[in-house]
């Protein structure tokens, strides 16, 4: 096989896993193609029924339209339903997370008889070509047991990478031109617990890490936490965020899932509404206008009008900068699959629309509070994400000669949602 195409579904951790495989296969001499290739690697997701359906549909299409193509399926769906995938036309390999996590194993499964030394790749990745942001997977797996989630079954218990390995990888990515490093994983708040350490320690190390170019000049970069449970933002972590807002984006994605204590308990979440909202308050007192984003599930078994009203109110109190609203869909193999009292689908649709509308209003109010604030923006072209997770556009003529990370003053955009970044300057 001389050419390979990658298709990735799902989360940032999956994007990262694909990049690990991409680098290994390209080092073995395979050429990456956007369209037809002799080998297609499909890295799947199983977090929702829809994610699984899309992956199976794509695999069937490849098998139908290009019958000679060989297909290797990996990722969480390969772990949760290998038999179904093996039956699909064109599928030669179904490699669960165990085989695919290490590129050496993956290559061996594909018939490359190599030893790890020969492969010569450092642990992790070296770049995310074409992007200013890079993902860095700091741990994998999860020790919790949320009733709706299949992930612990397909990714296993939490395993953290060493701080030294991660520092080396950050330095490599920054030297490759990435100016934002997104710390991702499955449950990053548990980073370090298996190593006698805590996430705050890793983030502090990265916040003071000096990365130099070939001439010894310090290269600017920042890190962002991809998703962390509200109960895991401890005082040490908050102290790093407060000390180094230039290095650690003041943005926390903290899944809320529901604002009803009864529903949270049924979900096997380990906090109640008051604990979640108290965490938001505590963080807000420590940081300057932090951005909170979150996920909420609507239509979980047992969610009636009262429980939904509590969620709606909690969203207003939390003051989210953005909210992702998902309708509950039962995943086979989860505890929630067999739960009764599922709300009527029509009611779920209405709740989803009502919550999204309320969340938009809350996000607009948060955005208003940022007008006139200075924030750093990591640009891809002339548009980028600010530290507080706002989309910011900077006029091309103002960017001449400036690096891809700039500090700007946020002003309302006349052209629609998002901000215009005024007075761009290099990040100090
Ligand atoms: S914390 Fe809950 S939702 Fe998140 S990966 Fe673990 S089990 Fe799934």
Distance 330 CA to ligand 1 centre (A): 15
Instruction: Decide: helix, strand or coil at residue 296.
Output: strand
* pLDDT for the residue numbered 241: 97
Helix 273-286 / helix 235-243 crossing angle, nearest 10 deg: 30
Query: Domain extents for the chain?
Result: 3-119, 125-249, 252-370, 374-426
What is the token pair recorded at 233?
Answer: 């933002």
| Atom from ligand 1 closest to the CA of residue 269 | 2
186 lines ligand 1 (CB under 6 A): yes
| Atom from ligand 1 closest to the CA of residue 186 | 5
Angular region, 281: left φ>0, alpha ψ -120 to 50, beta rest: alpha
142 lines ligand 1 (CB under 6 A): yes
141 lines ligand 1 (CB under 6 A): no
189 lines ligand 1 (CB under 6 A): no
156 lines ligand 1 (CB under 6 A): no
Distance 187 CA to ligand 1 centre (A): 7
Alpha carbon distance 241, 236 (integer Å)? 9
Protein residue with least CA distance to atom 4, ligand 1: 187
* pLDDT for the residue numbered 148: 96
Handedness of CA 170, 176, 182, 183 (dihedral sign): negative
Protein residue with least CA distance to atom 2, ligand 1: 146
Query: Do residues 394 and 402 touch, judged by C-beta distance below 8 A?
Result: no
Distance 50 CA to ligand 1 centre (A): 18
* pLDDT for the residue numbered 395: 92
Whole-Å CA distances, 383 to 12, 82, 280, 406, 420 = 21, 41, 29, 11, 9
* pLDDT for the residue numbered 118: 59
* pLDDT for the residue numbered 166: 97
Pocket test for ligand 1, best of 142, 269, 294, 333 (most atoms within 8 A of CB): 142
Q: For domain 252-370, say whether CATH 3.30.565.10 is its number.
A: no
Protein residue with least CA distance to atom 8, ligand 1: 149
Q: For domain 3-119, say whether CATH 3.40.50.12160 is its number.
A: yes
| Atom from ligand 1 closest to the CA of residue 257 | 3
Distance 164 CA to ligand 1 centre (A): 26
Distance 133 CA to ligand 1 centre (A): 25
Pocket test for ligand 1, best of 152, 158, 276 (most atoms within 8 A of CB): 152
What is the token pair recorded at 279?
Answer: 């965490």
Whole-Å CA distances, 37 to 7, 14, 18, 31, 234 = 12, 21, 16, 9, 47
**Quick check: do 3-119 and 252-370 share a fold?**
no
Instruction: Decide: helix, strand or coil at residue 392.
Output: strand
Pairing, β 383-386 against β 391-393: antiparallel
144 lines ligand 1 (CB under 6 A): yes
Protein residue with least CA distance to atom 1, ligand 1: 144
Pocket test for ligand 1, best of 187, 226, 254, 335 (most atoms within 8 A of CB): 187
Query: Do residues 293 and 320 touch, judged by C-beta distance below 8 A?
Result: yes
Closest residue by Cα to residue 298 from 283, 289, 285, 309: 309
pTM: 0.93
Domain 125-249: which CATH class? Answer: alpha beta
In tens digits, the chain (428 residues) has pLDDT values of 789 999 999 999 999 999 999 998 888 888 999 888 999 999 999 888 888 899 999 999 998 988 889 999 999 999 989 999 999 988 999 988 776 667 777 777 777 777 656 555 567 899 998 899 999 999 999 999 999 999 999 999 999 999 999 999 999 999 999 999 999 999 999 999 999 999 999 999 999 999 999 999 999 999 999 999 999 999 999 999 999 998 999 999 999 999 999 999 999 999 999 999 999 999 999 999 999 999 999 999 999 999 999 999 999 999 999 999 999 999 889 999 999 999 999 999 999 999 999 999 999 999 999 999 999 999 988 999 999 999 999 999 988 888 888 999 999 988 878 899 999 998 86
Distance 150 CA to ligand 1 centre (A): 8
């Amino acid at each position: 096989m001389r050419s390979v195409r990658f298709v990735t579904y799902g989360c940032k951790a999956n994007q990262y896993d694909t990049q690990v495989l991409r680098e290994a296969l390209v080092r073995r001499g395979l050429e990456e193609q956007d369209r037809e290739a002799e080998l297609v690697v499909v890295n799947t997701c199983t977090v929702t029924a829809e994610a699984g359906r899309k992956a199976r549909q794509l695999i069937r299409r490849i098998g139908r339209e290009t019958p000679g193509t060989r297909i290797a399926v990996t990722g969480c769906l390969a772990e949760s339903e290998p038999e179904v995938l093996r039956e699909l036309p064109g599928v030669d390999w179904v490699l669960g997370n165990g085989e695919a996590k290490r590129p050496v194993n993956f290559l061996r499964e594909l018939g490359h008889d190599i030893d790890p030394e020969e492969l010569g790749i450092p642990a992790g990745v070296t770049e995310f070509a074409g992007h200013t942001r890079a993902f860095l997977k700091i741990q994998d797996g999860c020790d919790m047991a949320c009733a709706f989630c299949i992930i612990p079954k397909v990714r296993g218990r939490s395993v953290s990478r060493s701080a030294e390995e991660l520092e080396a990888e950050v330095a490599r990515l920054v030297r490759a031109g990435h100016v934002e490093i997104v710390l991702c994983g499955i449950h990053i708040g548990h980073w370090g617990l298996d190593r006698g350490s805590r996430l705050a320690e890793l983030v502090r190390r990265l916040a003071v890490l000096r990365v130099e170019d070939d001439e010894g000049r310090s290269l600017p970069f920042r890190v962002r936490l991809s998703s962390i449970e509200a109960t895991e933002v401890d005082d040490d972590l908050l102290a790093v965020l407060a000390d180094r807002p230039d290095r650690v984006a003041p943005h926390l994605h903290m899944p809320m899932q529901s604002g009803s204590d009864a529903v949270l308990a049924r979900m096997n979440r380990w906090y109640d509404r008051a604990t979640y909202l108290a965490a938001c308050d505590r963080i807000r007192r420590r940081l300057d206008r932090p951005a909170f984003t979150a996920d909420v599930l609507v239509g979980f078994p047992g969610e009636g009008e009262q429980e939904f009203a509590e969620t709606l109110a909690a969203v207003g109190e939390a003051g989210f900068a953005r909210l992702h609203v998902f309708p509950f869909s039962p995943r086979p193999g989860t505890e929630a699959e067999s739960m009764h009292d599922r709300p009527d689908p029509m009611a779920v649709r209405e709740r989803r629309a009502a919550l999204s509308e309320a969340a938009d209003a809350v996000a607009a109010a948060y955005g208003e509070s940022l007008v006139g604030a200075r924030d750093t923006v990591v640009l891809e072209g002339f548009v980028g994400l600010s530290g507080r997770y706002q989309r910011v556009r900077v006029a091309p003529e103002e960017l001449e000669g400036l690096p891809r990370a700039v500090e700007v003053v946020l002003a309302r955009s006349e052209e629609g949602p998002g901000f215009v970044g005024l007075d761009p300057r290099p990040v100090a």
